[in-house]
Every structure is written in structure tokens, then in C-alpha cells.
Amino acid sequence: MANQQEVRRTVYRYRGHVQGVGFRVNAIQQARGLQVVGFVRNEPDGDVLMDVQGPRKEVEELAKRVQSSMSLKINEVLIDQRDPLPDREGFKIRY
């Protein structure tokens, strides 16, 4: 992974018809080949939360891929920049 100052952590909250449509599995597939870590999970309120960390361009590329592939299901995306977390590994579905 890149140096700490090059690492970006972004939390995306997707709203719309995003649960029960393969959103999380799609996010994992879209992350293949990208140097990102973090997780994607369903939220109790019906949203999907994607917490992703990595080089800025890789994080943005994942968000672009997810948006493009799931655009018909997404009504709104809330984006929150956060401080990177140490020792994260893999990009997974969290339950």
C-alpha cells in the first residue's frame, strides 16, 4: 500500500433500492485489481455503507465503478472523508 500521506479513507453511504440486489457482492467484484482495503455492509436503515481506504485514485476508481454498475439502484450517495486506519487488510463484506 502507499505511504500514509497518500492513503485516503472514504466512507460512502448509498441510499435507494440497494439491499437485496447484490450490491455488496458487486462492490467486492468492482474492487478486484484495486489496491483498496475496507468493507461493505448493509445498514439497519436500508442503506449500504462502504468504508474504503487506499491510494486516492484507487478509492475514487472503486466509487466510480460501483456508481456506474449500480446506478439504477442508487438514489443518493453521502460521502465522508475520514482519517485512515492502520493495519487494515482486504476488502470484504461485513455482516
Q: Which tens digit of pLDDT belongs to each residue from 3-62?
A: 555 899 999 999 999 999 999 999 999 999 999 999 999 999 999 999 999 999 999 999
Q: Catalytic amino acids?
A: 24, 42
Q: φ, ψ for residue 48 (rounded to 5)?
A: -120, 130
> What is the predicted pLDDT for the residue at 5?
55
> What is the predicted pLDDT for the residue at 6?
86
Q: pTM of the predicted model, to two decimals?
A: 0.93
CA dihedral 39, 31, 25, 11 (to 10 degrees): 40
How many whole angstroms separate alpha carbon 36 and alpha carbon 22? 20
The model's confidence at residue 2, banded by pLDDT at 50, 70 and 90, is very low
